[in-house]
């Protein structure tokens, strides 16, 4: 059972931040505030008169070291629906060492997790022809990054020091990095229709966000070498497997925040905008969307002598969105909660006794700090944590009637050795059937920096949606999955009403335009 819990801990409690997944829903025209966090320009010209988000959550995890090879799926385990042949005589689920598939491929190992919780949010449009849009949202983002780990060190993390093949063998760790972050985020999005020249439509948006840090720790190793050595006090005892780690060289940057940074969280202004939190900062998102509307005239109508567009309908043949997300940082500088060390240690012995009976997070970090030889007198009390910056490109094509296909490319902009969250790159194609009250989609994606092929599904019925980006491995137990994902959301949708005026189909026949005029769509025509 120890190995079972180690596997679940690695798979479910550690990883690289991968917020902003939501692949089966974020490209929809009915995604509400879930689309504005992917591109702030989506706050304008929506199918909603008012959209209110109540709650949502996206959990994602992947790695390239351990695979799930049990005869039952993740969710069978979590929902306790595992068949009887995988249980013992007392009805308990059996987990064997053979149920894990270890990757022996060359290259460094990583394990990646994120959890994105969306709280209350709203969105609505205003102004003449609804040319302005505004949204406000709240969310909590949690993630863990472990990158650049070689095979020997991955085995040490998994099995501990009792592997005999690791004894007295000098191991070069390389240059791995570890980041854990949790913070509260609140943002305001403003968007505007930049111009609407009939068949060409452009909108832009910007999100300003306040960030308040709950927890952060990182370990960025420049150089590290170690050996697993027998414990001299227990080596003579028959059957003893107590081993220690002799650190030959350790050059690294190491920092953490104490658990009081979480316990002190509140909605008081001093915590949100003052110095009571462990850390705080600001961020920004920028977005642009272009729509090509060759049949725009089908959606125009005249009311009180004025030509208007039907706000309840999608009007594009295709649209292209480009956004720059999560530009900013959190500064951790509260001396009551923050410690940071620049370490350069040689010949330091870490014994198994150093980490026995750990009682809390602070106790664990304190023991690690003392064991590696860091001194409180050498501590710094401030460091900066970057946001998971990324460049995102969306292309959505209207096939026919209610059928669409969305393609998204998201490229992470931070290196794996930087301090802070990272956005692993992805490429995904999502066909969908989309109507006002119902929607279904299927996703084929290259996730985890284009290393993992996944298939996902999502569905929306009225105010509720649910989906996964790891359908085959998570629910159906096909292959040997190295990740999991599930997301859901609940909202209050208030749609624009469909136009029902007698002259709703009225439109003027547009004059023919040359190719040059069409390409220069930003120039308004006279007349």
CATH of the domain at 472: 2.40.160
Does residue 435 fall inside a structural domain?
Answer: yes
Does residue 71 fall inside a structural domain?
Answer: no
Residue numbers of the chain with a pLDDT score lower than 50: 1-20, 501-509, 526-527
Query: Closest by alpha carbon to 484, among 18, 1, 3, 149?
Result: 18
Instruction: Provide the token pair at 287.
Output: 């977005």
Does residue 98 fall inside a structural domain?
Answer: no
Q: Distance between CA atoms of 496 and 494, rounded to whole angstroms? A: 7
Does residue 80 fall inside a structural domain?
Answer: no
Does residue 168 fall inside a structural domain?
Answer: yes
| Residue 462, pLDDT score | 92
Q: Which helix (H) or strand (E) holds 247?
A: strand 243-257
Output helix, strand, coil percentages for the chain, rounded to the nearest 5. Answer: 15, 50, 35
Q: Distance between CA atoms of 526 and 506, rounded to whole angstroms? A: 21
Does residue 197 fall inside a structural domain?
Answer: yes
Please write down the HEC assignment for all residues of 314-338: CCCCEEEEEEEEEEEEEEECCCCCE
Residue 66: count other Cβ atoms within 10 Å of its Cβ: 20
Q: Distance between CA atoms of 333 and 345, rounded to whole angstroms? A: 25
Query: Closest by alpha carbon to 251, among 230, 223, 229, 273?
Result: 223
Q: Distance between CA atoms of 313 and 526, rounded to whole angstroms? A: 27
Q: Would you say 202 and 210 are in contact if contact means Cβ atoms under 8 Å apart?
A: no
| Residue 216, pLDDT score | 94
Instruction: Provide the token pair at 50.
Output: 């008012």
Domain span including residue 55: 2-65+103-519
* pLDDT, tens only, 398-448: 999 999 999 999 999 988 889 988 888 899 999 999 999 999 999 999 888
Does residue 74 fall inside a structural domain?
Answer: no
Residues forming a β-bridge with 406: 396, 430
pTM, whole model, 2 decimals?
A: 0.85
| Residue 504, pLDDT score | 44
| Residue 522, pLDDT score | 56
* pLDDT, tens only, 69-105: 888 777 777 778 888 888 888 888 888 878 888 887 7
| Residue 358, pLDDT score | 84
* pLDDT, tens only, 223-276: 999 988 887 766 556 556 678 889 999 999 999 999 999 998 988 888 988 889
Does residue 92 fall inside a structural domain?
Answer: no
Q: Would you say 78 and 61 are in contact if contact means Cβ atoms under 8 Å apart?
A: no
- Number of domains, the chain: 1
Query: Closest by alpha carbon to 208, among 327, 77, 343?
Result: 327
Q: Which helix (H) or strand (E) holds 88?
A: none
| Residue 475, pLDDT score | 64
Residue owning tokens 């320009």:
41
């Amino acid at each position: 059972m120890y190995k079972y819990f180690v596997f679940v801990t690695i798979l479910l409690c550690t990883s690289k931040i991968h917020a902003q997944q939501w692949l089966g829903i974020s490209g929809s025209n009915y995604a509400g505030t879930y689309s504005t966090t992917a591109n702030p320009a989506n706050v304008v010209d929506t199918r909603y008169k008012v959209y209110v988000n109540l709650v949502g959550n996206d959990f994602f995890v992947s790695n390239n070291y351990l695979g799930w090879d049990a005869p039952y799926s993740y969710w069978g385990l979590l929902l306790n629906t595992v068949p009887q042949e995988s249980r013992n005589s007392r009805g308990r689920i059996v987990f064997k060492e053979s149920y894990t598939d270890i990757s022996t491929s060359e290259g460094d190992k990583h394990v990646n997790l994120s959890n994105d919780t969306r709280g209350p949010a709203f969105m609505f449009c205003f102004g003449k022809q609804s040319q302005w849009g505004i949204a406000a949202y709240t969310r909590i983002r949690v993630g863990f990054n472990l990158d650049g780990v070689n095979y020997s060190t991955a085995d040490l993390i998994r099995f501990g020091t009792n592997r005999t093949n690791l004894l007295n063998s000098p191991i070069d760790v390389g240059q791995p990095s570890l980041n854990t972050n949790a913070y509260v985020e609140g943002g305001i999005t403003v968007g505007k229709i930049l111009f609407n020249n009939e068949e060409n439509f452009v909108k832009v948006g910007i999100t300003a966000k306040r960030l308040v840090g709950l927890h952060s720790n990182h370990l960025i190793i420049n150089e590290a070498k170690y050996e697993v050595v027998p414990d001299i006090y227990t080596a003579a005892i028959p059957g003893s497997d107590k081993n220690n780690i002799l650190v030959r060289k350790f050059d690294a940057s190491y920092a953490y925040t104490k658990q009081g940074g979480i316990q002190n969280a509140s909605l008081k202004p001093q915590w949100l905008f003052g110095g009571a939190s462990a850390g705080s900062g600001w961020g920004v998102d920028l977005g642009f969307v272009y729509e090509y509307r060759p049949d725009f005239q089908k959606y125009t109508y005249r009311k009180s002598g004025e030509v208007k567009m039907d706000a309840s309908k999608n009007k594009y043949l295709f649209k292209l969105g480009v956004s720059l997300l999560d530009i900013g940082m959190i500064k951790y500088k509260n001396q009551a909660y923050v410690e940071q060390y620049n370490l350069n240690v040689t010949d330091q012995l870490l014994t198994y006794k150093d980490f026995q009976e750990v009682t809390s997070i602070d106790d664990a970090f304190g023991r690690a700090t003392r064991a590696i030889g860091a001194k409180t007198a050498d501590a710094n009390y401030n460091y900066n944590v970057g946001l998971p910056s990324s460049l995102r490109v969306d292309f959505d094509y209207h096939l026919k009637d209610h059928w669409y296909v969305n393609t998204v490319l998201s490229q992470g902009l931070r290196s794996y050795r930087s301090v802070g969250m990272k956005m692993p790159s992805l490429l995904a194609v999502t066909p969908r059937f989309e109507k006002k009250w119902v929607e279904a989609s299927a996703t084929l994606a290259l996730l985890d920096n284009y290393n993992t092929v996944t298939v996902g599904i999502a569905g929306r019925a009225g105010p509720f949606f649910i989906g996964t980006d790891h359908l085959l491995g998570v629910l159906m137990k096909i292959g040997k999955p190295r990740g999991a994902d599930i997301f859901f959301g609940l909202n209050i949708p208030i749609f624009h009403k469909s136009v029902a005026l007698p002259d709703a189909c009225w439109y003027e026949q547009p004059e023919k335009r040359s190719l040059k005029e069409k390409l220069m769509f930003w120039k308004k025509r006279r007349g």
